């Protein structure tokens, strides 16, 4: 294995909005010499927030990648959004990252989106560090943040540093690994890091903190025995043992500082190198050696292996056109290489490779295993596609985007704009898999669906600005899902008469509830019916189309497993068409027998309000069908957590500010889908599916 791969770190910065992710990233770019002067989010000059909408609003909207060097290591870094509406940016970044830094605001602690990104990282088993930021702010509380990590996130969080705060100011941090005090002296828009012995007044804190660290981090028998006998362990030994625990998820190291003033940034970069994994540590990637009926195969993260990479994000460049952000898992990609897309069966020639630095693209000739690169020259990629050596096909696990929860009617104001709108919509739909375009079956209007009000607002704003379109946009409306209440089987038969005679196809399709997974699983049923490959593909394609608009209505199917359980197809001209139609009819028949349910999106709401308004806020939540899950005093505020249907929250933050004279704030993120009340179910879907709509399983 190439030893250089052990000097690669692929990491992401994750946090709730306003915790300081982008500010930390800017200081990392400065500390590593990537930029000379750090940009400021508030001034709209941040390097990584390069979209116009990001600079105007002061928030991160799209995940931005860069590459920096630190201590002879290469760090590929992705700065992700903190707003829940852009959760796909976090999800697809975590799919290709080996480690992460989770940032907390010291005055806010663990917030709703922190919980969400933590759960996403848990699901991907991504090792992580925590950086408690903004310790220079009034109300900063390191111990409360640590308690939040341990209780709200159930994280095995252990401090590797302790803050030193005097007269409300962050004076430095105690390095518990090397038993020293680190201070940060400003110089030329950066800092000089100085190390000194810990003063006597802080020796007790050092002793207790170091003892807790050693108990949590020591792993190997040899080091533990030496520590117990000699009472000491070297920093190299401590880092080596701690790293093993970080990699297996049994330890989350906690660091601290104030990124805006460069405090704590250099030690954090050291920790990335010492504690987070390289691609070599995480072992081989796994995939199917062929599409559909392939067998599982593994490929090591080595340049000597056959090439295999995953497209995790698409974008557009002014000069290069469509570009694909790609993680190379094995082998290498080179300019001029021909790569296979197993999903389509098509082949493309790589015309250019780049290293990304925010919106800048820096040409490179080769991207080896373990690296994150940008590929140009692909003709029809989608997010989650695999690129591999045509002589050794391998299909990696694709990405499954969450279902949209909110939609708006979007129309052009002029005939000329109408023609351009259809073409303009293709770009955001390609770049963002959580955007979906549908047609209202009752009105025929075009509906753009997304993850929330801000998500849709940004998408529409980009259409207006980038394509100079005059648009009319309707009020937001909730996107519902359909789910089977019980298992059922349906049958569909279609006869097709052609000049060559009659072709007949009959299929049985079974629909089974799948409560733990929103995405629909489609099983072709190879054993149930002997079919040529092209027939089977036609049937699966018809079933996919059927679940997108279940029962021909305005909502997709979810929480279901669909399988072909039997049937027959007579070969001949038009037989493929007959098989597709029969599959659709069989799916509809099964759904009508499955006691279909309407599923509505439920949001996790956190409200921070002065105690004077507590009663009014709780009463309003009850009127909105909200279920309060907790109330926690967080002086001078009260924190209310509740689960509330999204249909009741459109415009909520504005109403909350108005009712509390602007003294309350709310964070909203998607929690789950849940059966809608009977009245709502009947109102929306009874005209479509009659008395087979239910609200309970």
Q: Tell me the DSSP string of 295-340.
A: PEEEE-SSTTSPPEEEEEEEEEETTTEEEEEEEEEESEEETT-EEE
Q: Which of 133-137, 228-232, 519-523, 569-573 is the least confident region?
A: 569-573
**Residue 509: per-residue pLDDT:** 93
Strand partners, 641: 606, 630
Domain count, the chain: 5
Burial zone of 343 (CB within 10 Å; 0-12 exposed, 13-18 middle, 19+ buried): middle
- The range of the structural domain enclosing residue 487 comes to 482-595
Residue 465 has pLDDT above 80, yes or no: yes
| Residues 116 and 253 both lie in one domain | yes
Find where tokens 């090397």 sit: 178
**Residue 667: per-residue pLDDT:** 85
393 and 339 in contact (C-beta within 8 Å)?
no
Going by DSSP bridges, is the β-strand pair 446-450/488-498 parallel, antiparallel, or unpaired?
A: unpaired
| Residues 139 and 269 both lie in one domain | yes
| Residues 292 and 267 both lie in one domain | no
**Residue 687: inside a domain, yes or no?**
no
**Residue 686: per-residue pLDDT:** 62
**Residue 162: per-residue pLDDT:** 98
Residue 564 has pLDDT above 70, yes or no: yes
**Residue 1: per-residue pLDDT:** 64
Contacts with 684 (C-beta within 8 Å, 6 or more apart), sequence order? 480, 598, 676
SS3 of 606-617: the string is EEEEEHHHHHHH
Residues 476, 470: Cα–Cα separation, whole Å: 19
Q: Average pLDDT, stretch 610-622?
A: 94
Residue 385 structure tokens: 């596609």
Residue 141 structure tokens: 């509380």
**Residue 654: per-residue pLDDT:** 86
| Residues 452 and 564 both lie in one domain | no
Query: Rg of the chain over CA atoms, in angstroms?
Result: 27
Residues 567, 508: Cα–Cα separation, whole Å: 6
**Residue 400: per-residue pLDDT:** 84
Q: Which of 106-110, 272-276, 539-543 is the least confident region?
A: 539-543
Contacts with 587 (C-beta within 8 Å, 6 or more apart), sequence order? 490, 492, 509, 511, 542, 543, 546, 547, 562
**Residue 532: per-residue pLDDT:** 67
**Residue 681: per-residue pLDDT:** 77
**Residue 689: inside a domain, yes or no?**
no
225 and 120 in contact (C-beta within 8 Å)?
no
**Helix spans in 231-276 (H):** 235-247, 265-275
Contacts with 30 (C-beta within 8 Å, 6 or more apart), sequence order? 36, 37, 38, 189, 190, 262
Q: Average pLDDT, stretch 42-49?
A: 87
CATH of the domain at 591: 3.30.230.10
How many CB atoms sit inside 10 A of residue 614's CB?
A: 16
Residue 335 has pLDDT above 90, yes or no: yes
Angle, helix 533-548 to helix 575-592, in steps of 10 degrees: 40
CATH of the domain at 430: 3.30.70.870
**Residue 533: per-residue pLDDT:** 67
Residues 328, 300: Cα–Cα separation, whole Å: 11
**Residue 529: per-residue pLDDT:** 67
| Residues 117 and 174 both lie in one domain | yes
Contacts with 387 (C-beta within 8 Å, 6 or more apart), sequence order? 307, 308, 309, 310, 311, 326, 333, 339, 340, 341, 375, 378
**Residue 636: inside a domain, yes or no?**
yes
| Residues 59 and 190 both lie in one domain | yes
Q: How confident is the model at residue 554 (pLDDT cuts 50, 70, 90)?
A: low
Residue scoring higher pLDDT (297 or 278) = 278
| Residues 375 and 423 both lie in one domain | no
Residue 30 structure tokens: 């400065």
Residue 15 has pLDDT above 90, yes or no: yes
Q: Average pLDDT, stretch 47-51?
A: 88
- Picking from 344, 371, 396, the residue at the C-terminal end of a domain is 396
**Residue 692: per-residue pLDDT:** 47
Calculate the CA dihedral of residues 221, 222, 224, 229 and round it to 10 degrees: 130
| Residues 462 and 540 both lie in one domain | no
- φ, ψ for residue 660 (rounded to 5)? -115, 20
**Residue 251: inside a domain, yes or no?**
yes
| Residues 463 and 553 both lie in one domain | no
Q: Which of 3-17, 326-340, 412-426, 610-624 is the least confident region?
A: 412-426
**Residue 695: per-residue pLDDT:** 45
- Picking from 560, 595, 630, the residue at the C-terminal end of a domain is 595
Q: How confident is the model at residue 551 (pLDDT cuts 50, 70, 90)?
A: confident
Residue scoring higher pLDDT (52 or 149) = 149
Average pLDDT, whole number, for the chain?
89
CATH of the domain at 624: 3.30.70.240
What is the share, in percent, of the chain residues with pLDDT greater than 70?
Answer: 94
Strand partners, 190: 187
**Residue 666: inside a domain, yes or no?**
yes
Q: Which of 115-124, 401-410, 437-446 is the least confident region?
A: 437-446
Residue 688 has pLDDT above 70, yes or no: no
How many CB atoms sit inside 10 A of residue 62's CB?
A: 21
What is the share, in percent, of the chain residues with pLDDT greater than 90?
Answer: 61
**Residue 368: per-residue pLDDT:** 96
| Residues 100 and 225 both lie in one domain | yes
**Residue 128: inside a domain, yes or no?**
yes
Q: Which of 32-36, 217-221, 393-397, 672-676 is the least confident region?
A: 217-221
Q: How confident is the model at residue 576 (pLDDT cuts 50, 70, 90)?
A: confident
CATH of the domain at 329: 2.40.30.10
Q: How confident is the model at residue 117 (pLDDT cuts 50, 70, 90)?
A: very high
Q: How confident is the model at residue 621 (pLDDT cuts 50, 70, 90)?
A: very high
**Residue 696: inside a domain, yes or no?**
no
Express each pLDDT in 165-191 by its tens digit: 988 889 999 999 999 999 999 888 789
**Residue 692: inside a domain, yes or no?**
no
**Residue 230: per-residue pLDDT:** 76
| Residues 569 and 493 both lie in one domain | yes
How many CB atoms sit inside 10 A of residue 658's CB?
A: 10
| Residues 211 and 66 both lie in one domain | yes
**Residue 614: per-residue pLDDT:** 94
- φ, ψ for residue 223 (rounded to 5)? -70, -40
Residues in the chain: 697
Q: Average pLDDT, stretch 589-617?
A: 91
Taking alpha carbons only, the member of 466, 428, 426, 449 closest to residue 62 is 428
- Picking from 342, 366, 396, the residue at the C-terminal end of a domain is 396
Residue 231 Cα distances to 209, 226, 228, 285, 561, angstroms = 15, 7, 5, 41, 58
Express each pLDDT in 199-208 by its tens digit: 999 999 999 9
Contacts with 583 (C-beta within 8 Å, 6 or more apart), sequence order? 492, 507, 509, 538, 539, 542, 543, 546, 564
């Amino acid at each position: 294995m190439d030893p250089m791969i052990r000097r690669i770190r692929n990491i992401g910065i994750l946090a709730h909005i306003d915790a300081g992710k982008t500010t930390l990233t800017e200081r990392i770019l400065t500390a590593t010499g990537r930029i000379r002067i750090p940009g400021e989010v508030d001034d709209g000059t941040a390097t990584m927030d390069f979209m116009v909408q990001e600079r105007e609003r002061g928030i991160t909207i799209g995940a931005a990648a860069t590459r920096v060097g630190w201590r002879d290591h290469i760090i590929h870094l992705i700065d992700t959004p903190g707003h829940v509406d852009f959760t796909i940016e976090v999800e697809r970044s975590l799919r290709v990252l080996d480690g992460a830094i989770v940032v907390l605001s010291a005055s806010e602690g663990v917030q709703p989106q922190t919980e969400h990104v933590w759960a996403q990282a848990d699901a991907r088993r991504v090792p992580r560090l925590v950086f408690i930021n903004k310790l220079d702010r009034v109300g900063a509380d390191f111990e409360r943040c640590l308690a939040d990590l341990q209780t709200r996130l159930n994280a095995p969080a252990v401090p590797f540093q302790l803050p030193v705060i005097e007269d409300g100011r962050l004076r430095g941090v105690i390095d518990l690994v090397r038993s020293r005090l680190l201070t940060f002296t400003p110089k030329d828009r950066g800092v000089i890091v100085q190390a000194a012995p810990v003063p006597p007044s802080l020796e007790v804190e050092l002793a207790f903190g170091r003892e807790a660290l050693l108990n949590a981090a020591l792993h190997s028998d040899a080091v533990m025995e030496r520590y117990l006998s000699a009472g000491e362990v070297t920093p190299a030994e401590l880092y080596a043992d701690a790293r093993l625990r970080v990699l297996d998820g049994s330890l989350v190291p906690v660091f601290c500082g104030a990124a805006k003033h460069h405090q704590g940034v250099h030690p954090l970069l050291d920790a990335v190198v010492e504690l987070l994994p390289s691609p070599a540590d995480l072992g081989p990637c796994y995939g199917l050696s062929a599409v559909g009926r392939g067998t599982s195969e593994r490929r090591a993260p080595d340049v000597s292996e056959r090439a295999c990479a995953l497209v995790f994000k698409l974008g557009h460049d002014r000069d290069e056109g469509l570009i694909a952000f790609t993680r190379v898992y094995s082998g290498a990609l080179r300019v001029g290489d021909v790569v296979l897309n197993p999903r389509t069966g098509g082949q493309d020639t790589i015309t250019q490779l780049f290293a990304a630095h925010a919106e800048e693209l820096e040409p490179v000739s080769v991207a080896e295993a373990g690296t994150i690169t940008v590929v140009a020259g692909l003709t029809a990629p989608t997010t989650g596609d695999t690129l591999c050596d045509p002589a050794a096909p391998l299909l990696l696990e694709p990405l499954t985007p969450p279902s949209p929860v909110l939609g708006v009617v979007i129309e052009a104001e002029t005939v000329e704009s109408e023609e351009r709108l259809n073409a303009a919509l293709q770009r955001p739909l390609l770049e963002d898999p959580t955007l979906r375009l549908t047609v209202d079956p009752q009105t025929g209007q075009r509906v753009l669906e997304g993850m929330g009000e801000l998500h849709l607002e940004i998408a529409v704003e980009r259409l207006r600005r980038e394509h100079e379109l005059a648009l009319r946009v309707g009020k937001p409306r909730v996107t519902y899902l359909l789910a089977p209440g019980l298992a059922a089987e349906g049958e569909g038969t279609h006869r097709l008469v052609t000049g060559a005679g009659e072709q007949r196809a009959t299929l049985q399709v079974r629909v089974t509830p799948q409560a733990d997974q929103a995405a629909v699983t489609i099983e072709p049923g190879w054993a149930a019916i002997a079919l040529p490959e092209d027939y089977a593909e036609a049937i699966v394609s018809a079933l996919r189309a059927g679940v997108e608009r279940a029962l021909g209505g305005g909502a997709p199917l979810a929480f279901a497993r669909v399988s072909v359980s039997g049937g027959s197809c007579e070969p001949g001209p038009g037989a493929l068409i007959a098989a597709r139609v029969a599959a659709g009819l069989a799916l509809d028949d099964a759904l009508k027998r499955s006691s279909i349910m309407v599923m509505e999106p439920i949001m996790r709401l956190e409200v921070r309000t002065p105690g004077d308004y507590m009663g009014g806020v709780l009463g309003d939540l009850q009127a909105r069908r909200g279920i309060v899950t907790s109330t926690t005093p967080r002086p001078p505020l009260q924190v209310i957590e509740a689960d509330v249907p999204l249909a009741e929250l459109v415009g909520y933050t504005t109403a909350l500010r108005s009712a509390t004279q602007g003294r309350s704030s709310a964070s909203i993120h998607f929690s789950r889908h849940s059966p809608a009340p009977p009245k709502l179910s009947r109102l929306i879907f009874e005209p479509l599916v009659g008395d087979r709509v239910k609200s309970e399983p």
